[in-house]
Structure 1
Amino acid sequence: MTNERFIELFDKSRDGLLSESEAIEWNEWIGQSEHNREMIERLQNEEYVKRTVQLLTKARQEDWLDILEKHPELKPEGLEVKHLSNGRLVRLWIAAAVAIMIGVFVTYLFLENKTSEPKLTNTNRKLIQDIRPPDTTKARITLANGQVVALDTMSNGVFALQGRVNVVKTSDGEISYKGAGGNGGSGEVAYNTLTNPRGSKIVSINLSDGTRIWLNSESTLRYPVVFNGNERHVELIGEAYFEVAPSFIKSGKKRPFFVTANDVTVEVLGTHYNVSNYPDESTTKVTLLEGSVKVSTKNKEHSVILKPGEQTSVSHTSQLSQTIPVQTADLDLAMAWKNGTFYFNGESLEAIMKQLARYYNVDIEYEGNPPGKKFGGMISRNKNLGEVLSVLELSGVHFRIEGPKIIVLE
């Protein structure tokens, strides 16, 4: 199906205007592959389309023209790309993405140049091998007695008893702590540690107080089996999304929930937020979606209270001497990992490669200095690594995969 025909039939199907013959043609195309069905499901998701079009329209028209002129395989036959509106170019790119199967709606790429930029060139460079996305969790729990439990080897149901608390693996792979909850009492606290390594799917956990946490790859969460006392404390290395359940002590006072990430502490009573604290990144980022959080440095010399839609980035090197900045958050960017996408908005190639390294469990090697250009785009995390790299190659950057290593070529 040509790009123009796809756009025509999609628009008609959305408005209920397909003729009988067009409906047959449309349904036959959808039924040709799982990819086609998945593509249409995403196109029919109004929120996803709205968010993606907002991203696409950030690209400069020159970039669209450059991509389409340098990659004629993306351009419908006989179409002149000059003097097209951004909206028209967006539609063409969506159709092109469908036609050449380079991504699941929608993959795009734009460049922000600070210096001279190499021209886009077509390439037939082949990847030596490809790497599939993780299809299972490789997470493991270290119990209070030091025993390590690999979650992918555990059957559904109770697999450990920690004091009076059952540790359960549910049918959808989530870990849940069920049993006696904290009651504000005192006593020795037993800790478990959940580790989700590189190349592993997201793992989610329900703590004994009802708090739910999603842990990204290459991340570690240390937490008590039962929360005793007047406060709740967990420790994070890496990235996690928290939905903190309200909790009360005997007096009826709310019991705060604290996340320690490097030298930053996040204090909440009940809210939804994301914390990113990877050792190889220069900052700890806290992004608030709902409720309210207080972010403090380790010595509590500086602190800020975030409102929904705000984010703070605390430098690992200067956080003790500088105030904590607050800015409007890009929630799509902060939550992309949890929502199953790679989303880049003005990211450097080095930042992108760090994400790919964690997710696909690969090492990165550069031949020469990394290019100074910036990238924007969105692509499903269900794609093979080679497909993601092929999209990035539209910018003129090239790669080679050798075993568990990506080589960024000059």
Structure 2
Amino acid sequence: ERRLNQGKIPPVWDDYGLYFTDGINLPPTYWSSEDLLKYLETGRSSDVPVPKWTVTQLNNSDTVSLALAGDYLVTVNESPTPRSLVSTWTVSGINPENGRVDWKTWLEKPAVPGALLIDREGRVLVAHEGGGLSCLGGDGAIKSYINYLVKEMEKSGDGKERITNLLNDSLAKINTEGARNLIIDMMKDNGIVVGKEAKENGAVIEWHLTSPLPFNEEHRFDEAFVSPATPDLTAPITVDDATHAWRTYTTIDRDGMIDLAEIYGRLEDSAVLAYAEIDLKEDRDLALYVGSNDGFLLWFNGEEAGRYESGRAYSPDQDLLHVKGKKGKNRILMKITNLGSRWAFSVRLVDDQSKPINLASLN
């Protein structure tokens, strides 16, 4: 028999495993779902699971709260202070791949056990004993943190490369609009071409997205919700008394993949509209490689160019759509539908020989 989660603090989990503290004054641990399921199925002593990692940097503290925030495990910890009756309270960000504490900040007052939340903007909210709330993170904190790292990296010989890697890594992990726009602006300020490799591969990386729309018997696959030829990005879309605003999103994925599950969650019977513009130097024949999970309906300059109406897993370049591009602005409107679980999409431009059109050179 192996007893788990004896710390009396609610655990958290993702698709791959469980994170919890196994006792009072014991650090957080991570357990693989695969290992736990195997033990439950076999019951053999040889299959008794062991943690994949333990946060040894928190050995001398008591973990009172756990939460998952994007690609981090966030904990609130109480630590004894030498020669003092007053404890030290901290919030730590733990890398889920290796259990290393990547960042830590201090709280001014004791926290309520279990009272840790992550809001939709990725901010960390901690409730305090006796009242009060601490809000950590947000756009200002991200900007200050990246500015600090940029200044430190500029002191070294490989500073530009390290800055580029840092900002690309941040952009790959953060999905809130304000924070992403800050990072993109900082990349441009440092002379970094955003998504250079993706653009050279023909990937469309800059999109306007709606919030999730209904996809059901009342709102079927062919419903566009807007004019495919001239969508008004300044006007929210009203559907069934609910308002759906547009937001910007830039991906740096080489194939242009946008993971809608990471942005909006794993929703059932939902759809999203995505709009992009491409400037061409001349009239020319083009082809669009489209990947989607699940279905898609795509209009090019207001005309339907292709569709896929069933469910499927995402991979790049699943469908090839032939279109005629015109000199100047070309409009792509795409509707992505989701039956459930993960959803994503990508669009990549190629010429009539299926060679990528270098969008970096066009811009």
TM over 0.5: no
- TM-score, normalising length: structure 2: 0.29
Compare the two structures and name the one with the higher strand fraction: 2
- TM-score, normalising length: structure 1: 0.26
